[in-house]
């Protein structure tokens, strides 16, 4: 199951808390049910985004390890 993201947020090279702040802004701009792809190489990003999704009710659909230490996250905005 591969959800096609509606938006991509490139946070490669940014460190905590920037990926989290930018993810929050980007997901707020989406419509309910839309998917945000986040690319990040900050080691703290995975834990931060998991916690963010749990706290806000958004769905963390997938976490993938890409080459060069980059992780790809797919977050689905919760339905209102």
Q: Which of 78, 18, 75, 15 is nearest to 50 (CA)?
A: 75
3-state DSSP assignment of residue 34: coil
Report, as residue numbers or ranges, the catalytic residues: 16
Structural contact between residues 14 and 44, judged by C-beta atoms closer than 8 angstroms: no
């Amino acid at each position: 199951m591969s959800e096609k993201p509606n938006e991509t947020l490139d946070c490669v090279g940014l460190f905590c808390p920037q990926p989290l702040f930018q993810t929050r802004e980007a997901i707020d701009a989406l419509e309910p049910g839309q998917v945000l792809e986040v690319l990040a190489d900050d080691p703290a990003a995975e834990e931060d985004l998991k916690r963010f999704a749990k706290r806000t009710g958004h769905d963390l659909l997938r976490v993938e390890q890409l080459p060069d230490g980059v992780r790809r996250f797919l977050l689905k905005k919760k339905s209102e």
